[in-house]
């Protein structure tokens, strides 16, 4: 079960959101007063698809996955690392989560009363802009993902995913992917059999290296060409 404590000093927090710089001290204190710091274990759900949004969720530490639960299989929308808001689209939308968020590793989430965030956004343009920018970046990412799923063949789709992990998520050619092979398949909207087969092909051809959950992009230019050709 998740454990929580009351936030004590949001301004001094090393994981705080840049959006806090747009607020007055009184407003930061208002957020702090309603903020619960919740610790989730790997695999625990942070919010559940179809439930009401009562709090803004800020991922202070760790990493999570956002995914749509389907009848037969899930579709992972994105992976989010620390120091980012998660689920803002639902907060500013119909106040219902259209996806589930779960922890990929032990993670720390700040849960802030939703009405306080919305009220501050109404009166502070700078703060609203920062939140809107985060929503826009997340939405544009999902739009691109939908286009890739519909237009790219399996090899191009998986190549695009590996490059995204390397260049945008971990910012390193070698990274430890916390996804299982099943989750990689769900992220790429592919079957696990095709995912494993293509990963093995890339490894055999020397395009990538795989040691357990550690991936190395050995020939990024070739992988990028595969992604571009689709």
Predicted local confidence at residue 2, as pLDDT: 60
CATH number at residue 178: 1.10.10.10
- Whether residues 64 and 85 fall in one domain: yes
Burial class (CB in 10 A: 0-12, 13-18, 19+), 50: exposed
- Whether residues 60 and 128 fall in one domain: yes
pLDDT along the chain (230 residues), means of 10: 79 90 94 95 95 96 94 90 91 92 95 96 95 92 88 93 91 91 93 95 96 95 91
CATH number at residue 84: 2.60.120.10
- Whether residues 32 and 53 fall in one domain: yes
- Whether residues 43 and 138 fall in one domain: yes
- Whether residues 60 and 161 fall in one domain: no
Continuous segment of H or E residues that includes residue 174: strand 174-176
**C-alpha span between 217 and 158 (Å, rounded):** 13
**C-alpha span between 214 and 208 (Å, rounded):** 10
Prediction pTM value: 0.88
Predicted local confidence at residue 1, as pLDDT: 53
Predicted local confidence at residue 71, as pLDDT: 84
Predicted local confidence at residue 125, as pLDDT: 95
Predicted local confidence at residue 126, as pLDDT: 95
- Whether residues 112 and 165 fall in one domain: no
- Whether residues 114 and 164 fall in one domain: no
- Whether residues 181 and 145 fall in one domain: no
Which structural domain, as residue segments, surrounds residue 213?
Answer: 152-229
- Whether residues 124 and 208 fall in one domain: no
Predicted local confidence at residue 150, as pLDDT: 87
Structural domain total, the chain:
2
């Amino acid at each position: 079960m998740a454990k929580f404590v009351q936030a004590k000093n949001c301004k001094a927090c090393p994981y705080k959101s840049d959006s806090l710089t747009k607020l007055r001290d009184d407003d930061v204190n208002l957020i702090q007063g309603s903020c619960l710091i919740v610790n989730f274990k790997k695999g625990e759900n942070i919010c559940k698809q179809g439930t009401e949004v009562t709090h803004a969720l800020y991922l202070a530490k760790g990493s999570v996955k956002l995914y749509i639960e389907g009848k037969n299989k899930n579709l992972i929308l994105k992976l989010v690392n620390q120091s980012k808001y998660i689920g803002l689209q639902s907060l500013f939308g119909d106040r219902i989560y259209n996806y589930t968020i779960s922890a990929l590793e032990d993670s720390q989430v700040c849960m802030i009363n939703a009405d306080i965030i919305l009220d501050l956004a109404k009166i502070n343009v700078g703060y609203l802009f920062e939140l809107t920018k985060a929503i826009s970046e997340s939405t544009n990412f999902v739009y691109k993902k939908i286009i890739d799923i519909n237009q790219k063949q399996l090899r191009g789709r998986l190549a695009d995913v590996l490059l995204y992990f390397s260049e945008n998520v971990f910012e390193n050619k070698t990274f430890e992917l916390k996804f299982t092979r099943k989750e990689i398949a769900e992220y790429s909207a592919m079957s696990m059999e095709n995912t494993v087969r293509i990963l093995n092909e890339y490894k055999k051809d020397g395009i990538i290296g795989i040691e357990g959950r550690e991936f190395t992009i050995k020939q990024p230019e070739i992988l990028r060409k595969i992604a571009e050709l689709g």
